Every structure is written in structure tokens, then in C-alpha cells.
């Protein structure tokens, strides 16, 4: 009996069962994989393709859904440069999206925009950006909202990163006001699509193990050293403005102050690809596609422990929009599949964070449960038997009458309209 009571009282959170639903990307080519996903909302998602059989081949293809993945429509990213590799995609809606692209030999590149759902693409960045062959190198494009965006590339010319910002949806691009205050070290450079963004804050890692951070959409920057000597082969991710982690698939480091300082943690037991779960601090979903390191796992404590979703399934990149909306890439096989949609709920139901009161306690019969919108209250005796239950219409103060129960100790579990739970020991006089 005591063992049952203890487990009810200390359980800090509840996360429902998780799984993935196979969806068809629509690509006719075998082994077409997905290497970047951007989720606009629960209905609209854009994804970029790559050649899973020969990953170094240039593939300029995308696929898009506007109905939550029930149907995906593939298309070409025709930017007029057939040798350019696509770095990442950022979409604003079903019609408007941006892609970054670069030449793997020369480093030349830029940003292209579509306003008709991907039918045509036009260069957004001016011709005098990322145009120094052999020294330029385009890394990524990101938009904070429909008008404010940023592109980042390696230092060229001089000893400063090539950065541009826009405040008109990519019509014009200018140097950020803080560009002159962020010089690089000799030979320092960034990496393709190696950045993280939360709200108006953005971070990117470098070959010297430094992180550059901006809290104002890329206009001014600070730099800090991490425990990583070089970000090659590493992932950088933040779940909010303060909490983030760096991992190379073997070891990892965590920060709780936005990247100013980092601490080493236990060996990494997640998988190589990683996404934060927006709205859930320190929640991350990881995936893998390599033989012996495939499947998907999630953590609710910044990597201290992981829960397995599946094993032996090839999952490439992964992106989450919120606790219930996420996709991970796969590969087309026999004309079907290619992407997976998340089916589950990673929302935190943290009993420590929910300040729920049960008064009076001890009680002679009637208690009031308050602190969140109550949907149900159930009471258990110390054998685990349910002795009382009542549903409520999501009310702030729920009156619970347990006067019919015998004198003794009970366990009361209140459930909110969002599924959060609070378990409390109640003494009945």
C-alpha cells in the first residue's frame, strides 16, 4: 500500500504514448530522403530532398503539404544554378518560402524566394553577396517573422562574417548594425545550417568552438567560447532563450543561461539528429538513420535520460512545432513513404509546476480543488481502489464531497482541461 501511494505522489509528469505515421512525400525517385523540414503550422509544412543513395549528389527538390501531411506535393527548386546545394528552407505560409543555396566547390550562394507555392523561384539576396569565389560560403537563411530575416555566411571579405538582415520580407538586405563588433579569429568559419533560433534570439556555432548570439534578430552580436573545440559534427539546439545543448552524438553539454556558460553532462544516449519541442523546456526529440543507430527517442530532462519511440527505423532530420506537431524525414521505398508525422503528445503535465490547492486538508467532508481549470477529480484509497470520481466543466474551483468516505488517508488526483494532473494526499476526519 505504501509503495502505491509513493508512486502516485512523486510522479512529476505524464507523457502519453508516442508513435509515427508514415506519409508519402510524392517523390518518384527511389531513396529520396528528407534533410530539412520547416513547419509553418499544423497544416502547412515544407521539406527539402536529398539523394539517400548518393548523398553528395545535388538535388534541388522540395515537397509540401497544406493538409497536415495527408497529401504531399513535390516540386523543383529551380534557381538557375544546377550545381548549388540547398542548405535549408524557411516558409512563411503555403505560398511563400525561402531557400538558401551554395556551390560546394566555390562557396558562392544566396537566398531564393517563391511566392507561388514553389512554382517559380527568384533570387532574394543581391548579386554582391556571397559572390567571392573561393572565400565566400553561404550557411543559412532564417526568418523571425514575415518581414524580418537574416542570412549568414563565412568571413568574406576581410575578417568578419558575411551577414545580411532584411526588414521587408527579403526585398532588400543590409549589413546589421553590429557587424563591425563581431570580428572572427584567423581562419574561423561557420557551418551549413548549424544554427538555432527561439523568438528573436539566434545562435550559430563556428570552427573555433565559439557561439555568436543575437537577441535582436541579428542586428547586434556577442560571442562566447564553448567547451567544443570545433562545431563540425555537432548539433546546437535551444528549447527556449536560456536552455540549450550541444552534442556530437557521443558527449553533450548543457546551458541554462542562453549559451554564456556550458557544463558537461553524462554520455549522450540520444540519437544524432535533434529538435527542441517548442513550449516544453528541456524537451528534445532525437532521430537516427544509420545502421545500428536508427530510430527515435525523446528526453524530458535535457538529455539526462531518453524514452524510445521506435528502433530500427531510418529517421533523418526531425523538426517539432509544438508538443503534438512534428515530422521526421525518411526515404522513399517502392514509391511510398519518405516522411513520418508524429502521433502523440509531449506536453508537460508537471505536478511541481502546477500550483493546485486542496482545502481544507484535513477535511470533515468537502474540499475545494483550485489552481487550474478542473476537468476531473478522482480519489483513491491506499490500496489503489478508486472510491470517488467526478467530472467538471473546466471550472476554477471544484467542490468535492468525500463526506461518505471513512476516516483515513486518501490520494486525490485532479486533472485539468489540458490533461495536467496534480496528486495530493488528503486526510478525512
Q: Per residue in 241-298, pLDDT tens?
A: 999 999 999 999 999 999 999 999 878 999 999 999 998 899 999 999 999 999 999 9
Residues 253 and 279 in one domain: yes
Torsion from C-alpha of 321, 326, 331, 332, nearest 10 degrees:
-100
Least confidently predicted of 55-64, 356-365, 375-384: 375-384
Give the residue-averaged pLDDT of 318-331: 97
Q: Which residue has the higher pLDDT, 331 or 182?
A: 331
* CA distance linking residue 280 with residue 54, whole number of Å: 36
Q: Is 160 contained in some domain?
A: yes
Average pLDDT over the chain, rounded to an integer:
90
Residues 408 and 293 in one domain: no
Give the residue-averaged pLDDT of 4-30: 65
DSSP state string for 127-178 = TTSS--TTT--EEEEEESSSS-EEEEEEE-STTBEEEEEESSTTS--B--TT
Give the residue-averaged pLDDT of 194-209: 97
Q: How confident is the model at residue 381 (pLDDT cuts 50, 70, 90)?
A: confident
Q: Is 12 contained in some domain?
A: no
pLDDT surpassing 80 at residue 429 = yes
Give the residue-averaged pLDDT of 321-334: 96
Residues 363 and 339 in one domain: no
pLDDT at 265: 86
> For residue 415, what is the domain's CATH number?
2.60.40.10
pLDDT at 362: 93
pLDDT at 125: 97
Residues 242 and 331 in one domain: yes
Give the residue-averaged pLDDT of 369-382: 86
Residues 369 and 328 in one domain: no
Give the residue-averaged pLDDT of 326-335: 96
pTM: predicted TM-score of the whole model, two decimal places = 0.79
pLDDT at 348: 62
Q: Is 1 contained in some domain?
A: no
Q: Is 349 contained in some domain?
A: no
Instruction: Report how far Cα 220 is from the mean position of its chain's Cα atoms.
Output: 24
Q: Which residue has the higher pLDDT, 396 or 328?
A: 328
Residues 239 and 383 in one domain: no
Residues 263 and 363 in one domain: no
Q: Is 352 contained in some domain?
A: no
> For residue 81, what is the domain's CATH number?
2.130.10.10
Percent of the chain topping pLDDT 90 = 74
Q: Between vectors from CA 256 to CA 244 and to CA 238, what angle results, nearest 5°?
A: 15
pLDDT surpassing 80 at residue 356 = no
pLDDT at 353: 46
Please confirm whether the linkage preceding 362 is cis (ω < 30° from 0): yes
pLDDT surpassing 50 at residue 11 = no
Q: Is 254 contained in some domain?
A: yes
Per-residue pLDDT tens digits for 148-190: 999 999 987 667 899 999 999 999 999 998 776 677 788 899 9
Domain boundary at 343, 365, 395, which? 343
Q: How many domains does the chain have?
A: 2
Q: Would you say 97 and 84 are in contact if contact means Cβ atoms under 8 Å apart?
A: no
pLDDT at 396: 84
* CA distance linking residue 135 with residue 108, whole number of Å: 8
Give the residue-averaged pLDDT of 97-121: 97
pLDDT at 10: 28
Cell of 405: 468516505
Domain boundary at 293, 320, 343, which? 343
Residues 74 and 97 in one domain: yes
pLDDT at 181: 67
pLDDT surpassing 50 at residue 203 = yes
pLDDT at 352: 44
Residues 293 and 413 in one domain: no
Q: How many CB atoms lie within 10 A of CB 429?
A: 9
Q: Would you say 297 and 248 are in contact if contact means Cβ atoms under 8 Å apart?
A: no
Residues 390 and 302 in one domain: no
- Residue of 186, 181, 115, 195 lying closest to 153 (CA atoms): 195
pLDDT at 180: 66
Residues 44 and 66 in one domain: yes
Domain boundary at 315, 343, 371, which? 343
pLDDT at 418: 67
Residues 173 and 26 in one domain: yes
Q: Is 271 contained in some domain?
A: yes
pLDDT surpassing 90 at residue 238 = yes
Q: Is 13 contained in some domain?
A: no
pLDDT at 5: 29
Per-residue pLDDT tens digits for 404-420: 999 998 888 888 776 66
Task: Give the residue numbers spanning the domain of 380.
Answer: 357-428
Amino acid at each position: 500500500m505504501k509503495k502505491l501511494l509513493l508512486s502516485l505522489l512523486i510522479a512529476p509528469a505524464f507523457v502519453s504514448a508516442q508513435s509515427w505515421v508514415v506519409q508519402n512525400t510524392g517523390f518518384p525517385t527511389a531513396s529520396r530522403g528528407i534533410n530539412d523540414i520547416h513547419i509553418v503550422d499544423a497544416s502547412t509544412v515544407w521539406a527539402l530532398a536529398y539523394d539517400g543513395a548518393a548523398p553528395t549528389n545535388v538535388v534541388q527538390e522540395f515537397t509540401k503539404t497544406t493538409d497536415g501531411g495527408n497529401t504531399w506535393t513535390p516540386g523543383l527548386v529551380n534557381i538557375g544554378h544546377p550545381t548549388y546545394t540547398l542548405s535549408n528552407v524557411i516558409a512563411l505560409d503555403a505560398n511563400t518560402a525561402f531557400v538558401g543555396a551554395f556551390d560546394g566547390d566555390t562557396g558562392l550562394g544566396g537566398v531564393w524566394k517563391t511566392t507561388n507555392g514553389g512554382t517559380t523561384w527568384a533570387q532574394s539576396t543581391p548579386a554582391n553577396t556571397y559572390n567571392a569565389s573561393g572565400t565566400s560560403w553561404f550557411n543559412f537563411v532564417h526568418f523571425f517573422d514575415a518581414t524580418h530575416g537574416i542570412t549568414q555566411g563565412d568571413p568574406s571579405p576581410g575578417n568578419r562574417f558575411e551577414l545580411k538582415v532584411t526588414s521587408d520580407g527579403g526585398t532588400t538586405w543590409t549589413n546589421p548594425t553590429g557587424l563591425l563588433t563581431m570580428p572572427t579569429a584567423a581562419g574561423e568559419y561557420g557551418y551549413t545550417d548549424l544554427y538555432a533560433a527561439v523568438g528573436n534570439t539566434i545562435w550559430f556555432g563556428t570552427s573555433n568552438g565559439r557561439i555568436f548570439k543575437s537577441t535582436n534578430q541579428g542586428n547586434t552580436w556577442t560571442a562566447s567560447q564553448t567547451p567544443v573545440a570545433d562545431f563540425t559534427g555537432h548539433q546546437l539546439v535551444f528549447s527556449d532563450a536560456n536552455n540549450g545543448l550541444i552534442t556530437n552524438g557521443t558527449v553533450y553539454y548543457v546551458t541554462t543561461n542562453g549559451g554564456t556558460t556550458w557544463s558537461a553532462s553524462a554520455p549522450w544516449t540520444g540519437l544524432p539528429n535533434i529538435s527542441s519541442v517548442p513550449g516544453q523546456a528541456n524537451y528534445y526529440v532525437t532521430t537516427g538513420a544509420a545502421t545500428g543507430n536508427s530510430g527515435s527517442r525523446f528526453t524530458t530532462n535535457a538529455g539526462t535520460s531518453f524514452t524510445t519511440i521506435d528502433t530500427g527505423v531510418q529517421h533523418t532530420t526531425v523538426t517539432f512545432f509544438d508538443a503534438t506537431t512534428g515530422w521526421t524525414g525518411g526515404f522513399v521505398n517502392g514509391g511510398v513513404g519518405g516522411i513520418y508525422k508524429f502521433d502523440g503528445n509531449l506536453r508537460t503535465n508537471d505536478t511541481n509546476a502546477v500550483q493546485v490547492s486542496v482545502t481544507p486538508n484535513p477535511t470533515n467532508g468537502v474540499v475545494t480543488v483550485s489552481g487550474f481549470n478542473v476537468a476531473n477529480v478522482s480519489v483513491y484509497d491506499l490500496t489503489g481502489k478508486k472510491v470517488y470520481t467526478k467530472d467538471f466543466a473546466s471550472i476554477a474551483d471544484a467542490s468535492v464531497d468525500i463526506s461518505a468516505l471513512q476516516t483515513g488517508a486518501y490520494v486525490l488526483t485532479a486533472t485539468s482541461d489540458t490533461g495536467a494532473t496534480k496528486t495530493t494526499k488528503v486526510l478525512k476526519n
